[in-house]
Structures are given as C-alpha cells and as structure tokens.
Structure 1
Amino acid sequence: MSDIRKPQVDKEKLKEAFDVSNFDINAIIRGVQLTLVGAQRALQNPGIFTNEHYKQAAIAVASGIIIRILIAVPIIGVRVFLWVLSFVVNLDVVTWDDKIVHGLHFIENHVLQIPLFLMTLMRYITPTLDNLFMDSLQWVDITYVQKHKGESPDSLRDMYYPNLRQYSKKDGSTHTTSTAEATTMFLWRFARKGLISLAIFALSYLPIVGRFVLPAASFYTFNKAVGLGPASVIFGTGIFLPRRYLIIFLQTYFASRSLMRELLEPYFARIHFTKQEKKAWFHSREGLLFGFGIGFYTLLRVPLLGVLIYGIAEASTAYLITKITDPPPPPAQSAGFAASQQEWKNKHEFLSLDLANMDAIHGKGRAEPKKDL
C-alpha cells in the first residue's frame, strides 16, 4: 500500500504572506507624529513668510474657496432642479429628493475625492509646491546643523539640499519634462481611479452579491499593499460594516496613498527610480507613509484652508525625506543610488526613538580605526 503524502506547507511563504512588519501600528503612529513634527519644523522656516509665500498663501486660500464652490455647483444645480420640480410635484411627502442631494455630496467627497483632485491639480499648474519642498529641505539641513553644532562634523550626516538641487527635474511618474504630458497622465490616473471607484460603488448595490463587493475590493487592495493577514481581517470585518463606513474607510486609505505619492513627487522627479524600485521603496515604508498621509489628509478636509494645509504638507514632506532616505550623492555619482534606497535601512532605529529625539540618528557613522602596518 503506497503512502499518501500530505501536501507540504511552505512555512516561509506563509510567514511572508502574513508579515505585517511594513504596516505595523508603531510605524503608523510614528507617521502621524511626523505629521505634527514636520508641520512644526516647516512653520519655523522664516522663508515661508516671505512676500512670495504670503502671495501663494493668499492664492491658496482663494483657491480653497473656489474649490468649495466648484464642488457645490452640481449639488446647487440639483437643488434648483428639485425646487422647480416642487411646483409640479409635492416633494414634502417624499424623501427621495434629500437622498439624491446627500448621495451626490457623498460621491463627490468620498467616492471620487473631488477636493483632493482639485488641490493636487495645482501642482501641474504652478511650480510653487516644488519650490516649497526644496526651500523646506534646505531649511531642514540648516536646522540639523544648528541642532548638532557642538558635535564633530565628521559624525554628522551629509546634507540633502545641495546635491538634490543639482539633479535635473522630470515628472516622477512619466520621467518627462513636458508639463502637458505630466498633466495628461495625472488626469488619466484620476479618471481611471474615479471610474473604478464608481463601478465598485454601483456594484455594491447589487442584490445578494453586492454586500461582498466592497469587502472583496478591500481584500484585493490590502493584500497587495500590506499582506494576507491584514487583508483577511479587513475582509471579515467589512462584511458586517455598513456600506457608507466601509466606503469612507477604503477611500480614505486610497486618498492618503495618492496624497503621499503626490507630496513625494519633488523627490521622485529628481531621483529616478524604475517602476519596480519605486514599488519596493513604498512597500518598505508603507505603514509610516500611511500614518503621515492620513494625518495630513484629515487636516486637508478643513473647509477653505485645505489648500493652505496642502502647502504645509509639502513642506513637511521635506523633513520626512530626511528620516526615511539617505542623503543623495552628486548626480555624477548617482548610479545605483535609487536601487540602494528600496529598503528602509534605519527603520528599526528610527521607530524606537523618542518623539523629542528624532534627529538622534542618521549620522555618517564613525570610521574604522586604521590598523598598524
């Protein structure tokens, strides 16, 4: 009688599938903390309060007002239509009119993320955000030197701004200097995401299978980003959550990721990663970037001031870069640098630091003592 062999379980692959080290709670909390610390550092920069930035701040507030008006136009149009319809139909005895208005408001703000789209679009219209990132990066370097002025220069990290400003700037997604192409690619990415979101939202109303559409979409998304373990938990929880809250949760996650990718554009426009290298770069820092993104995404929803906060978020991202990457070499010596940044090298050391002591690491490291010949 032949032995019946049981299927062997690859423990390493199973362990890898349930690995949440890139999305652990400690990294997410540290990301939220960096939201506050980065904003504080950015606002301490006297360069933000120059005439140019005052002008841009005024434009940002005005843009925030315009964005709110643009978002309200469709809803106002529907309200006007319903008001005209009320002369023919008695709407006081029905509730579907209010449901239509509330549904439009929900789709615009949570399904399509129109406010975030309009704020992000400003990056492709004016170079202000890129300039703000670079100015803030220079300020971070200056602040770092001042905080460590009593230490030996040999023990300090290299500067970020002097070398990074020497890199040619291209769009981080298309690797092109064409503003028209970069804008077109951005509009295409938003349109594609919007259509997918609308399709999933519509399918969630199907009878019987509709209740599984959103949990399945969340499982697919989180399995790719953070692994099988968290994705399974979210799928199981999502089956019992009301549709509205599950959509808000999913779209908040998507929006925070999109926000981080846009805020990091000034860096990736200069340090050119391949698609696979960039994917590995984000995966290694997934939890911290989510915490940082969700912190600013929450603040961006403040009425009228959202665009102004977007500028502060961009300035804060300069501080973030100095915590999760190595200082870039001069362009002539940049071969292999992007590949070396795929893994977050000082992750464990940085996450274990006290909040008030975030600048304690990132030194060059002491040179090995020379041996006597």
Structure 2
Amino acid sequence: MASPIFISTRSEYFSIRIVLRSIELTLSTIYNSLINKEFYTTNNIYLFIKYLKLSVILYILLNGPQLILKVSIQYLSENGFVNFNQFEKLMKFEYFLKYFLNINIFIMSTISFFDQDLETLFLCNLKYQDLKNNQQNFENYLKLSSNYKLDSSKSWSKNVTDLLKFSREFKYFIKRYTNYFFLNCILFLSIEYLPERFTSLILGFISFQTFVDKVGTVLSLILVTILQMSNYHYTVLVITTFYGSWNLAEDLLIYYFNKIHFTTSEQNQWLNTRKGVLFGIGLVYYLLIQRFPLMSFIIYSNAFFNMGYFITKFSGEIPDNSKSLATWCITESLWDGHERFVDNLST
C-alpha cells in the first residue's frame, strides 16, 4: 500500500479548468450524439431497445425488493405490528445502497466484459470520427489482437474463471471496485457507529488524501476545512462521487486497453496524464446514472458510444501494425495536449 501523501504541489494534469472543459465537452457530445441522424441506424436502434430493456430489468432487480419491503414495513408500522425503529433501519440500509454501494454501475461494468455490443457502439463512433478526420483508428484497432477474448462455446462460469486468470483488465477492474467498496464501507461505519471526533478525523484524512496530489496541499486543506464544517453526508457524497466517477471513467476504457497493449506502468502513466479529462467525463455519466437509475444502461451505453469520440481527442492515431505499437505505447503514455484540449472543443 502506498504511503500517505501530506505535502504535494498541484497536478498539471488535474485542474478545475481542465475538468470544467471536459464536462462541457461531454455534455455537448451527448447532445450531438442524440441529434445526429447518421447514428440512427437499424442496428443502433436495436441496441437502444436492448439497453432500455436491460435498464428496466436492472432497476426492478435492484429496487423492486427494497420498495416492497419498505411499503410492507411502513404498513405494518402504521398498524402497530412493528415498531418505527424497523422503518428507520430500512431507511439507513437504503441510504447505504444509494450512496455507498452503487452496485448498478458495478453490474453494468461487469456485463461490459461479456457484451460485445457495447464494443460495437464504441467502434461505430470511432469509425465515424475517422471519416471526419481522415484517420484509420477503426481499421487499425481491428487489426490488433485482444489481450483476452471470450469463447462463446464456453460456459459463463468458465469465461469468468478465464478472465480472472488471463485478463489484466478484468483483474484490475475487480481490484478497483474491491478497494472502492472497502473505502465506502469504512466511510459508512465511521459516520454511523464511531464517536463524532473519530468520524471527523477519518473523513478529514480521507478527503485530504483524495485531493492533495491533484490540487495541492493548500487547496486540499481549504477543501477539507469547508467539508469539516458541513454535514458528514456532504463529505461522504464528495468522496464517493469522486472515486465512483473515476472508476466509471476507467470502465469506459476497457475495450481500448484490451487492444492497446500498454505495460502496467505505461497504462498507469497514460491514465495519470489524462486524469482531469477522464474525471470530467466520468463525473457527467456517473451523476446521470445516479439521477436517472431507470435509464442507467441507456446512459452507460451512450458513454461507451461517445468514448469512440473522446479517445480521438486525447490519444493519438492507433498504429497500423503490432510492430509499431510497442514504440507508440511508450510515447503515447505521456500526454501534453491539455492546452489544445482546453482551447479546441469543436465537435
């Protein structure tokens, strides 16, 4: 485990300006993808219906039992069969599910490893951008071999086992969400069961460690002070939203990294030099999914679709052969195009 950071300067890759520009780009891209008639193909309409069905199914599975239990306990409480404390416990459990677990995003991201239609959406927009920009990302992407490819002849359980054995992206995905859920459980236990002074200390420490390497020591201390003066709920909301958005942004790159064979250090460097841009993208989609859970899979599929556009804004053209890829990965892992990204948002 990395040692805590106490003194740090502001990251050149993560600034309010970069994040705001990334949010602006994401919102305009969502709008353009919805009004562009060229995207309304038969296959894309079919996929829209598919993900609409999955959105409804996922919503019912996650919220149906909880709603039934809530109505039942409320009815029994009003008629004197159970005490009001049972209803309070249910509300606390509902609060935990909504703000700390975020299981719907984890489920959708897990499904993305098995659903090739999401990759089809990503490639659809990537191909469209190639036609606009006279590039060959789409064709060159298809030429590259995958780090791991599912075998449709195998059972679901066998494919999961193979993913855990051979897919670096899947193993990293499980590790990311394990750490995320573990952190969220610490936050929940802190605000619910620890004395106030310990809760304040733990939330302050986690908040500071979250932001110190991104906005610098001074600004981090100011943010922590503001959060410490607020209700614990807002501190938790900031922390869980930050890490949830970042996880979602990385989830949207699963297909890209499955084809582009970065080493672990190169991939970490690639992500680090683009963290402000990626966070803005992840934040928009994370908040949309949280706000409109009934449309979660529709929003998630749109995120994959638009990643086919985003990737052309902060990554170079994919080489046309695997021999050139190794050298390209070394140079591509470092990105200094932030100013161009911020100043040029024409879509």
Normalising TM by the smaller chain, what interval? 0.7 to 0.9
- The worse-fitting range, judged by mean Cα deviation, of 225-234 and 78-87 is 78-87
One-letter code of the match for 2:305? Answer: A
- Looking at structure 1, the residues matched to 285 and 234 of structure 2 have their Cα atoms a distance apart, in angstroms, of 20
Check the 8 A contact 2:266/2:329 in 1, yes or no: yes
Residue 314 of structure 1: how far off its partner (Å): 0.8
- Looking at structure 1, the residues matched to 210 and 144 of structure 2 have their Cα atoms a distance apart, in angstroms, of 34
Residue 201, structure 1, aligned to residue 188, structure 2: yes
Check the 8 A contact 2:125/2:308 in 1, yes or no: yes
Residue 182, structure 1, aligned to residue 163, structure 2: yes
One-letter code of the match for 1:129? Answer: L
Q: Secondary structure at the match of 2:146?
A: coil
Residue 316 of structure 1: how far off its partner (Å): 0.9
Residue 216, structure 1, aligned to residue 205, structure 2: yes
Q: 2:138 aligns with which of 161, 165, 168?
A: 161
Residue 202 of structure 1: how far off its partner (Å): 0.2
Corresponding position of 2:154: none
Corresponding position of 1:74: 66
Check the 8 A contact 1:61/1:307 in 2, yes or no: yes
Say if 1:345 and 1:236 are closer, same or farther in 2 by CA, change over 3 A.
same
Say if 1:195 and 1:76 are closer, same or farther in 2 by CA, change over 3 A.
farther
One-letter code of the match for 2:18? Answer: A
Q: Which residues in structure 2 correspond to 1:105-184 (within 5 Å)?
A: 105-145=94-134, 158-170=135-147, 179-180=159-160, 181-182=162-163
Deviations 1:79-104 (A, max 9, x none): 4356456665464xx4x344323322
- Looking at structure 2, the residues matched to 271 and 221 of structure 1 have their Cα atoms a distance apart, in angstroms, of 29
Deviations 1:191-215 (A, max 9, x none): 4422331123202341121122122
Residue 306, structure 1, aligned to residue 302, structure 2: no
Check the 8 A contact 1:109/1:115 in 2, yes or no: no
Say if 1:77 and 1:350 are closer, same or farther in 2 by CA, change over 3 A.
same
- The worse-fitting range, judged by mean Cα deviation, of 80-89 and 315-324 is 80-89
- Looking at structure 2, the residues matched to 304 and 78 of structure 1 have their Cα atoms a distance apart, in angstroms, of 19
Corresponding position of 2:227: 238
Residue 243 of structure 1: how far off its partner (Å): 1.3
Check the 8 A contact 1:75/1:105 in 2, yes or no: no
- Looking at structure 1, the residues matched to 295 and 113 of structure 2 have their Cα atoms a distance apart, in angstroms, of 20
Say if 1:131 and 1:230 are closer, same or farther in 2 by CA, change over 3 A.
farther
TM-score, with length taken from structure 2: 0.83
- Looking at structure 1, the residues matched to 138 and 106 of structure 2 have their Cα atoms a distance apart, in angstroms, of 29
Deviations 1:156-192 (A, max 9, x none): xx432221221112259xxxxx841437734564344
One-letter code of the match for 1:223? Answer: V
Corresponding position of 1:102: 91
Residue 254, structure 1, aligned to residue 243, structure 2: yes
Residue 338, structure 1, aligned to residue 325, structure 2: no
- Looking at structure 2, the residues matched to 187 and 22 of structure 1 have their Cα atoms a distance apart, in angstroms, of 26
One-letter code of the match for 2:142? Answer: R
Residue 46 of structure 1: how far off its partner (Å): 5.7
Check the 8 A contact 1:64/1:304 in 2, yes or no: yes
TM-score, with length taken from structure 1: 0.77
Residue 235 of structure 1: how far off its partner (Å): 2.1
The number of residue pairs the alignment matches comes to 324
Q: Secondary structure at the match of 1:23?
A: coil
One-letter code of the match for 1:161? Answer: F
Say if 1:270 and 1:341 are closer, same or farther in 2 by CA, change over 3 A.
same
One-letter code of the match for 2:299? Answer: I
The structure number with the bigger radius of gyration is: 1
Q: Secondary structure at the match of 2:294?
A: coil
Corresponding position of 2:153: none
Corresponding position of 2:22: 31
Instruction: Decide which structure has greater helix share.
Output: 2
Corresponding position of 2:262: 273
Check the 8 A contact 2:96/2:188 in 1, yes or no: no
- The worse-fitting range, judged by mean Cα deviation, of 192-201 and 258-267 is 192-201
Residue 22 of structure 1: how far off its partner (Å): 1.6
Q: 2:275 aligns with which of 279, 286, 299?
A: 286
One-letter code of the match for 2:146? Answer: K
Corresponding position of 1:264: 253
Segments of structure 1 that go 5 or more residues without pairing to the other structure are 1-13, 146-157, 173-177, 359-373
Check the 8 A contact 2:249/2:278 in 1, yes or no: yes
One-letter code of the match for 1:170? Answer: N
Extract structure 1 runs of 4+ deviating beyond 6 A: none
Q: Secondary structure at the match of 1:334?
A: helix
Segments of structure 2 that go 5 or more residues without pairing to the other structure are 1-5, 150-157, 165-169
Sequence identity of aligned pairs in percent?
A: 23
